[in-house]
Amino acid sequence: MDLVFNAIADGLAEEGYAVVDQFLSQEEVNAILELDEFRNGLTQFKKAGIGKSQQHQINESIRGDYIQWLDKNTAPASVKIYLDRLNDLILFLNQSLYLSLKDSEVHMTIYPAGSFYKRHLDQFKKDDHRKLSVICYLNHDWKEEHGGQLRIYLKDETKDFLPVAGRLICFRSDQLEHEVLLANRERLSLTGWMLDQHTDIR
Ligand code: OGA
Ligand code: MN
């Protein structure tokens, strides 16, 4: 994992984002796909909204994904492996980039075929505690024609990444605008944020 962690730290330091493959092995991805939540699909998930608490609203024309938050105390073993690895990554980034990340929050995500998430930033307000966005994809055999790319907006260009199984994308939540292009096939991921505050005091 050291090489992978190093690549993430370098990417964040030099470009503000990093893309690495095999953050989860194909076997680790399969174990997560076996979970009832993903097998039962949308029945156990909630429609994702935009904005926090009072401002929370569902807007189909902005985002069409469904989510379910993970609880690290009760998470099944296959998910715990991922959450523990994120925790190791937090410790690594704190040391190598002098960050003061304290915790993470992660949800399971399903984009049904035909859905997308329009261009946005993950941090809406200055007092947001989300520092890094971290997404790990769970889709075997994802091809260009399936769409669903994560598009990131850099200064003079955009870059698109396919949501292939085991790939992790990490970027500065307050700086990098991004969108999820229309997916023609169901698109699964674990979506999370590294925070500069513990989740239990939020
Ligand atoms: C998000 C998001 C990107 C992706 O959930 O805020 O931008 O590739 N996800 O799933
Ligand atoms: Mn986002």
- Phi-psi map region of 145: left, alpha, beta (phi>0 left; psi -120 to 50 alpha): alpha
Q: What's the 131 CA to ligand 2 centre distance in angstroms?
A: 12
What is the CA 18 to chain-centroid distance, rounded?
Answer: 12
pLDDT of residue 59: 76
pLDDT of residue 75: 94
The rounded distance, in Å, linking the Cα atoms of 190 and 10 is: 22
Please tell me the pTM assigned to this model: 0.94
Q: Are 115 and 182 in contact (CB under 8 A)?
A: yes
Atom 8 in ligand 1: residue holding the nearest Cα: 150
pLDDT of residue 41: 83
The rounded distance, in Å, linking the Cα atoms of 105 and 82 is: 12
pLDDT of residue 5: 98
Q: Are 19 and 168 in contact (CB under 8 A)?
A: yes
pLDDT of residue 55: 60
pLDDT of residue 56: 65
Q: Is 104 in the pocket of ligand 1 (CB under 6 A)?
A: no
pLDDT of residue 105: 95
Ligand 1: nearest atom to the Cα of 191: 5
Q: Is 110 in the pocket of ligand 1 (CB under 6 A)?
A: no
Q: Is 191 in the pocket of ligand 1 (CB under 6 A)?
A: yes
Can you give the pLDDT of all 202 residues of the chain as single tens digits?
A: 889 999 999 999 999 999 999 999 999 999 999 999 899 888 888 888 776 655 666 677 899 999 999 999 999 999 999 999 999 999 999 999 999 999 999 999 999 999 999 999 998 777 789 999 999 999 999 999 999 999 999 999 999 999 999 999 999 999 999 999 999 999 999 999 999 998 875 5
The rounded distance, in Å, linking the Cα atoms of 187 and 90 is: 26
Q: Is 122 in the pocket of ligand 1 (CB under 6 A)?
A: yes
pLDDT of residue 175: 93
pLDDT of residue 166: 98
- List alpha helices for the chain, DSSP H: 2-15, 26-33, 36-39, 77-97
Protein residues with C-beta less than 5 angstroms from the ion ligand 2: 122
pLDDT of residue 201: 56
